[in-house]
Structure 1
Amino acid sequence: MQTLQALTRDAVSTLMLSPEETEVDRVMTICNACRYCEGFCAVFPAMTRLLEFNKADIHYLANVCHNCGACLHACQYAEPHEFAVNVPRALAAVRPLTYAEFAWPPALGRLYRRAGLTMALATAGGLALFLVLVLILNQGAWLHVPLAGNFYAIFPHNLLVLMFGAVFLYAIVALGLGVAAFWRMLSPAAAPGAVLGAAGLDAAGQALTLKYLDGGHGEGCNDEDDRYTHRRRAFHHLTFYGFVCCFIATSVATLYHYLLDYPAPYPVVSVPVLFGIVGGIGLLIGPAGLLWLNLRRHPDHAVSAQQPMDRGFIALLMLVSATGLALLVWRDTGAMGLWLALHLGAVMAFFLTMPYGKFAHGVFRSAALLRSALDRRMG
């Protein structure tokens, strides 16, 4: 069977819909007749521009949705009404299909979708164990001798650059190929450069501020019941900007090493370490909060098939952060090598699984928001 990557928009519309996609078609048809929630988020204005919902449109709407829950709690056709309209759950059921369909290579996307938590933890554990075994076999002395935070006494700098550079490049290429195929399927209208630039700024602002986690009215999400909260938005921000701080820390350390000939280790008050500390704390608190909310989420919002992917990603982020902070605390002791091996294993696992799980949702959602912004500006 042809994959969506190889199809034009017209060809996509002729494909048989999956049960999840058929449910979105049914729900969106009802919503398009009602339009009570038109001002809630980007999903409903995008929906009103469509007369029917083919496969491409369904995946587009699914990735615009932030699952805030506001439309469900405002819907007069939700259960117990016979229409049983549930927009958040219907669209959430389609999003994993997008990630799996556009994963590259496709087989890995299907594997991660079926066993996200198992794959994430097994990959992190396996890589960390491999690193520990290599260290024990080749440089066992580090287990007992403090190295004053000198990571390169255990792993040569060039070896780390080669290993992580290759894996990071693979992750970027895999994500890029998937999102490029998704964008081709969306088939946005051709736009002048100025319009495309303005739409890009709109979409970036919406993504960076998590605009659509405010329920469409600024009061927040419905996490557990009809009460509005900003908890999801706050924990998402801590997670995302914690990741950004860690990326800045790595980038600054790279500049120190190559431009200033100033290799690690760096003092605690240095720029790379301070950004790393802030980022690590954000990546610990944010994912912990998201896991707490995930476990308490209103059952009508949840899709059980997506839970392994969500929780696997959260667990891996927490593992990366916890081992990184532990490495900083014990870097001047004989335990530094062990924490380094565990941390590098977790980071390697994160990069390897990055294109096949929850991380991808931010990239696909940004593409969908760009399509939405283009549609608004092109009329």
Structure 2
Amino acid sequence: MPYDTPKLAEAARQVEICNACRYCEGYCAVFPAMFKERSFASGDLTQLANLCHNCRGCYYACQYIEPHEFGLNLPAALAEARQESWERFAWPAAPARLFQRSGVAMACALVLGIACLFWIAANLTPASGEGFYSVLSHGTMVAIFLPAFVLPLAAVGIGLRRYWREVGGARVRWKHLVAAAQSAATMRNLSGGQDQGCNFEDEDRFSNTRRYAHQAVMWGFLLCFASTSSGTILHYGFGMEAPYGLFSLPKLLGVPGGILLTLGSAMLIYLKLKADPELGASSALGAEMAFVMLLALTGVTGLLLYAATGTSFVPGLLAIHLGAVLVFFISTPYSKMAHGFYRMAALVRDAQIR
């Protein structure tokens, strides 16, 4: 059957060979989903691509990789199709192409964000308050970050709607969400569906390191988000303004979150440098690396900002930290961050058809 793009056509070729072989039946969720089908439409391939976690175990187990004439490289084929799908579903499309193709663009956006925040801190009406509110007022922060948070989420929602339509998603029920959440929380598929781990960073050696690094980033991000949310509730609900003490809820959530985010991101950077780039979407490696470095910068500067409380380092650190957070939010629909939303949608769809 005709496919929308050459990358989907190549993914279809490889998936059809895998579907005939079925040696990897006990691997990650991709293969049980694959083996339910006799033929594959574009939507089926998009679903399989976003269900794939690029653990690479199937590649090292495969008897049809090069130099065999079939030349299979399923992790790379699905990674390219997955990357292409994010660009196709993104709205607007132009920023998606920019962020997926070039990590330099993200770095430039970060520099621009920091410069803008320095300008705001220096030129707007003098701030009043304690802690970082003495550098940048609460009202100014809300005016900058509320649109930067809400508008990207709206763009993500448009992309997810397009994805759901293409993969033939049905009405979502509670049991589907629970099953998807359990899979995402444990990241079982990052171990190739097997407890011994995956082969991402060291060929045929099994390891759970990548799984643990992803969990650290995920839980670190969620803790940081919970910290910010709790601070918002304390500010507006109880009139308790920052700065908060070490044993306050924002700090009890934010400090461990920042540590997990930093350590997890550093480990992901190390693993990406160590792994074979030919088994992923090699054209997007720079953008992926820039995104992970942005996560690491967010965690590090957040921890340093807390450690520097009451010192002359606060204004500079605050500008860098808020610049990193601002670029992170703005780039969410177009950077590697989008994969979290699409992968969750793929897990929900998989729960529906299981």
TM-score, structure 1 as length reference: 0.89
Q: 1:345 aligns with which of 323, 328, 343?
A: 323
Counterparts of 2:332 and 2:305 in 1: how far apart (Å)? 23
Q: 2:27 aligns with which of 40, 55, 76?
A: 40
Counterparts of 2:245 and 2:211 in 1: how far apart (Å)? 33
List aligned pairs for 1:226-375, cutoff 5 A. Answer: 226-375=204-353
Letter in 2 for 1:80: P
What is the deviation of 1:202?
0.9
State the number of aligned residues: 353
List aligned pairs for 1:1-379, cutoff 5 A. Answer: 16-115=3-102, 117-137=103-123, 150-188=131-169, 190=170, 196-222=173-199, 223-376=201-354
Letter in 2 for 1:156: S
Counterparts of 1:260 and 1:135 in 2: how far apart (Å)? 27
What is the deviation of 1:29?
0.7
Letter in 2 for 1:62: A
Letter in 1 for 2:79: A
Alignment gaps of 5+ in structure 2:
none
Alignment gaps of 5+ in structure 1:
1-12
What is the deviation of 1:154?
2.2
Letter in 2 for 1:21: L
Q: Contact 2:89–2:163 at 8 Å: present in 1 too?
A: yes
Q: Deviations over 1:169-200 (max 9, x none)?
A: 01111111101110011113x46x7xx32122
Counterparts of 2:116 and 2:302 in 1: how far apart (Å)? 18
Letter in 2 for 1:169: V
Partner of 1:356, secondary structure, is coil
Q: Contact 2:308–2:314 at 8 Å: present in 1 too?
A: yes
Q: Deviations over 1:102-140 (max 9, x none)?
A: 11111111111121x212211111111122133334579
Counterparts of 1:228 and 1:279 in 2: how far apart (Å)? 28
Q: Contact 1:214–1:221 at 8 Å: present in 2 too?
A: yes
What is the deviation of 1:299?
4.1
Letter in 2 for 1:104: W
Counterparts of 2:306 and 2:129 in 1: how far apart (Å)? 11
RMSD, aligned α-carbons: 1.8
Letter in 1 for 2:116: F
Counterparts of 1:277 and 1:252 in 2: how far apart (Å)? 13
Partner of 1:310, secondary structure, is helix
Identity %: 39
Counterparts of 2:105 and 2:224 in 1: how far apart (Å)? 24
Q: Deviations over 1:42-93 (max 9, x none)?
A: 1111111222222211111100000111111111112222211111111011
Q: Contact 2:87–2:334 at 8 Å: present in 1 too?
A: yes
Q: Contact 1:149–1:332 at 8 Å: present in 2 too?
A: no
What is the deviation of 1:274?
2.3
Q: Contact 1:239–1:287 at 8 Å: present in 2 too?
A: yes
What is the deviation of 1:288?
0.8
Counterparts of 2:277 and 2:230 in 1: how far apart (Å)? 43
TM-score, structure 2 as length reference: 0.95
Counterparts of 1:302 and 1:62 in 2: how far apart (Å)? 12
Counterparts of 1:358 and 1:127 in 2: how far apart (Å)? 19
What is the deviation of 1:149?
5.4
Counterparts of 2:304 and 2:130 in 1: how far apart (Å)? 12
Change (3 A) 1:125 1:41: same
Q: Contact 1:149–1:331 at 8 Å: present in 2 too?
A: no
Counterparts of 2:130 and 2:86 in 1: how far apart (Å)? 39
